[in-house]
Amino acid sequence: MDQERMAVELYLIHTAFLDDEVVFRQKLKQVSEKRREKVLNYKIREDQKRSLAAGLLLEHVIGEKGYSGEQIEIDENGKLYLPDIDNFFFSLSHSGEYAACVICDVPVGVDIQQKRATKANIAKRFFKTEETKYIEKHPYEKRDDLFFRYWTGKESYLKLKGQGILGGLDTFFIDLDEKKIVDEYNDNREIYLKEYRCLEDYYISVACYSKKFATFVKRIYYRL
């Protein structure tokens, strides 16, 4: 029953503490070997900081549950998971100066996007017709906002399924009013959507098979 479920918990971390080169190198030693390789494969320092912050956040979150980043495996679709551990799922995302991590006891996905100039009409290329019409019926000044709400919602669901963007953004429908995701190819399971606007100029969406979302977002800080 849903009331017995583990709450869907969202964690956030700001990347500013990694601006210092000494701190960056110190913290790099605190993540798994796979994460270090991933961080250093990026050529741009800002990308490295985001990836490292995500890795540190994940270490913190799963560490609270008694797990370690060294236990994490990567499947054929690039999804992270803890082998042989049931009822514990997590997802990572990063954008701008933030990284996000979400956990639950059923599959879950998170996406964070920093607001930026975009062309909301590109929704026609990626979204379902109903979603595009929903955007277009609103004034121009609200369309970018709706675009990012749909985009993060869709990305979060694809992460829940363990698929990237190639999974098809137009193969399912986001109901922003009902806070649900409708996917006829998902065995009629209820898919819930939670949007967070706790950061100025950022959009965060979480997709989950559980609707038991925690009341508070947990922000993790590192003291230098």
pLDDT digits (tens, 9 = 90+) for 58-112: 999 999 999 999 999 988 888 899 998 989 999 999 999 999 999 999 999 999 9
Q: If you ran DSSP here, which 8-state letter would residue 81 be given?
A: E
List helix spans (H) across the chain. 21-28, 33-41, 45-64, 123-126, 129-136, 140-161
Please report the pLDDT score of residue 60 as a whole number. Answer: 95
Q: Delimit the domains of the chain by residue range.
A: 2-220
Phi-psi region of 83 (alpha: psi -120 to 50; beta: other; left: phi over 0): beta
Distance, CA of 115 to chain centre: 15
- Which pTM value belongs to this model? 0.92
Q: 120 pLDDT exceeds 70?
A: no
CATH number of 2-220: 3.90.470.20
For residue 207, what are the β-bridge partners?
Answer: 109, 193
